[in-house]
């Protein structure tokens, strides 16, 4: 496929010249070529099966959205700079050098049309982790100053504030407001606690009910918990942008704050956002087993129900469940949400594609924040909408606030009268008040 067929949209940050940009990208690519990445880049057999997994390809039929094709800059850089035959290929002129124009052309493919959902990874017969390699590509793009402007803006904010949306110093006031609005105490900056509770950016702005509902449940079971200015935002903005250094800083702030206050657990909000970074990547950054347990809200609810620490009034009816990619496919939490729904007395009618093979909401990996990707995202939403309608279920439930926002935006654009409900909020609404903590 010629690069001329690609979408022309790209943004640039900074004033560096093309040579400097390219050099920065190549150094990042080469630095990320560990043995696993090299093996994956060597082993693609061009079977094209991954195309049938990607919602961007499925919804458009456009070959440029084939997952393996999104890795082309990385593959080219590997062949020319780091493969065993790199010197020979260079001498023989068999590996064309990457150009800044190549990177600009591929910006749309690695940012606008990849949610890093990992569905292609599960289908690849060679076990190639395409989503992980897209992330490595984004790392190089970030170093080159070739990131969608919307994401670059959030990155700068997060570097300054420790959050892409909320300055840390505003946290006490925000929590006081949420507390007053919903009538539930929310502790902030306690010097000691067992559980450090974190929030998704949206929970501090518009989805405050989710945060208040988490507080209600934690208070009811008598947990010793707090939120804390030192680490409160469960964000993966760094991974989304390719700013790995920022992501490490954000994730470390959660774990280090938990250690500082003596907490044994970091509770991640109902969001896929930080799950991968905090649950899986953090151990690599620390170079050892994490000093605290990191769990997602759904796991916490599941454990409270299993231990009899909360009881729920039956909700009844039927629901279908949207599996958030980062929590279920890449996080392995497929059964927990279904056990919580069962405890609510809800009949689950599965989507045609669910669990490990569920279709992404279309907004992950920063796509929902990347405004210029909205038309493509709306096309992807149609796939999800069709599957949801086919279930005939009364409710649509998910356990990720970001998926919920994406699905609600898609429904609004499609004039589809269907709201996505939060599993956490359903649990809080059905909570029986007289069960006390163990």
> In the complex, which residues of this chain contact ligand SF4 (CB under 6 A)?
44-50, 53-54, 56, 67-68, 70, 114-120, 124, 126, 128, 130-131, 134, 360
The counts of H helices and E strands in the chain are 21, 8
Sole residue written with tokens 């926002």: 405
Closest approach of ligand SF4 to the CB of residue 44, in Å: 3
Closest approach of ligand SF4 to the CB of residue 101, in Å: 22
Angle at 292 between CA 404 and CA 339, to 5 degrees: 45
- Cβ-based nearer residue to ligand SF4, 52 or 436: 52
How far apart, in whole angstroms, are the C-alpha atoms of residue 31 and residue 81? Answer: 11
How far apart, in whole angstroms, are the C-alpha atoms of residue 217 and residue 213? Answer: 6
- In 282-364, DSSP assigns E strands to 293-296, 318-322, 347-348
How far apart, in whole angstroms, are the C-alpha atoms of residue 416 and residue 387? Answer: 14
Q: Among residues 346, 352, 354, 350, which one has the least CA distance to residue 318?
A: 346
* CA distances in angstroms from 38 to 20, 82, 242, 283, 321, listed in the order given: 25, 8, 19, 22, 37
Name the token pair of 419.
């709201």
Which residues make Cβ contacts (< 8 Å) with residue 77, sequence separation at least 6? 25, 26, 29, 30, 98, 140
Residue 421: which H helix or E strand, with range? Answer: strand 420-422
Closest approach of ligand SF4 to the CB of residue 114, in Å: 3
Closest approach of ligand SF4 to the CB of residue 120, in Å: 3
Name the token pair of 94.
């068999």
Closest approach of ligand SF4 to the CB of residue 116, in Å: 5
Closest approach of ligand SF4 to the CB of residue 40, in Å: 8
Closest approach of ligand SF4 to the CB of residue 2, in Å: 19
Main-chain dihedrals φ then ψ at residue 105, nearest 5 degrees: -65, -35
- Cβ-based nearer residue to ligand SF4, 47 or 335: 47
Main-chain dihedrals φ then ψ at residue 190, nearest 5 degrees: -65, 140
- Helix-strand-coil percent breakdown of the chain, rounded to 5? 55, 10, 40
- Cβ-based nearer residue to ligand SF4, 116 or 204: 116
- Cβ-based nearer residue to ligand SF4, 42 or 189: 42
Closest approach of ligand SF4 to the CB of residue 32, in Å: 17
Closest approach of ligand SF4 to the CB of residue 127, in Å: 8
Which residues make Cβ contacts (< 8 Å) with residue 343, sequence separation at least 6? 305, 312
3-class secondary structure, 270: coil
């Amino acid at each position: 496929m010629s690069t001329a067929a690609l979408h022309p949209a790209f943004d640039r940050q900074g004033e560096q010249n093309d040579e400097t940009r390219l050099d920065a990208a190549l150094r990042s690519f080469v630095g990320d070529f560990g043995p696993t990445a090299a093996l994956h880049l060597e082993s693609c057999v061009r079977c094209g099966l991954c195309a049938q997994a990607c919602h961007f390809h499925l919804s458009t039929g456009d070959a440029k959205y084939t997952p393996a094709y999104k890795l082309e800059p990385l593959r080219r850089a590997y062949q020319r700079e780091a493969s065993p035959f790199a010197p020979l290929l260079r001498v023989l002129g068999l590996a064309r050098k990457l150009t800044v124009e190549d990177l600009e052309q591929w910006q749309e493919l690695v940012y606008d049309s990849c949610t890093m959902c990992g569905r292609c990874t599960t289908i690849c017969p060679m076990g190639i982790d395409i989503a992980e390699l897209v992330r490595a590509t984004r790392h190089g793009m970030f170093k080159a100053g070739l990131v969608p402007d919307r994401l670059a803006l959030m990155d700068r904010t997060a570097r300054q504030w420790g959050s892409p949306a909320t300055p840390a110093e505003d946290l006490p006031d925000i929590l006081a407001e949420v507390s007053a609005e919903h009538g539930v105490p929310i502790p902030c900056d306690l010097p000691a606690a067992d559980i450090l509770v974190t929030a998704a950016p949206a929970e501090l702005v518009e989805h405050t009910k989710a945060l208040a509902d988490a507080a209600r449940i934690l208070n009811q079971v008598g947990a010793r918990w707090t939120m804390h200015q030192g680490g409160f935002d469960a964000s993966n903005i760094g991974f989304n942008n390719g700013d790995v250094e920022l992501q490490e800083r954000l994730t470390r702030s959660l774990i280090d704050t938990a250690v500082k206050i003596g907490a044994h657990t970091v509770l991640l909000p109902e969001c896929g956002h930080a799950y991968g970074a905090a649950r899986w990547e953090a151990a690599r950054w620390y170079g050892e087993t994490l000093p605290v347990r990191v769990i997602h809200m759904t796991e916490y609810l599941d454990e409270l129900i299993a231990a009899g620490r909360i009881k729920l009034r039956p909700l009844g009816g039927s629901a279908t469940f949207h599996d958030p990619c980062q929590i279920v496919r890449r996080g392995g939490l497929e059964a927990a949400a279904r056990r919580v729904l069962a405890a609510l007395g809800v009949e689950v009618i599965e989507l045609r594609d669910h669990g490990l093979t569920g279709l992404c909401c279309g907004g992950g990996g920063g796509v929902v924040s990347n405004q210029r990707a909205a038309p493509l995202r709306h096309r992807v939403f149609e796939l999800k909408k069709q599957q949801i309608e086919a279930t005939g279920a009364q409710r649509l439930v998910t356990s990720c606030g970001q998926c919920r926002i994406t699905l609600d935006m898609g429904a609004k654009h499609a004039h589809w009268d269907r709201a996505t409900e939060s599993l956490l909020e359903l649990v809080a609404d059905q909570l029986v008040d007289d069960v006390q903590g163990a």
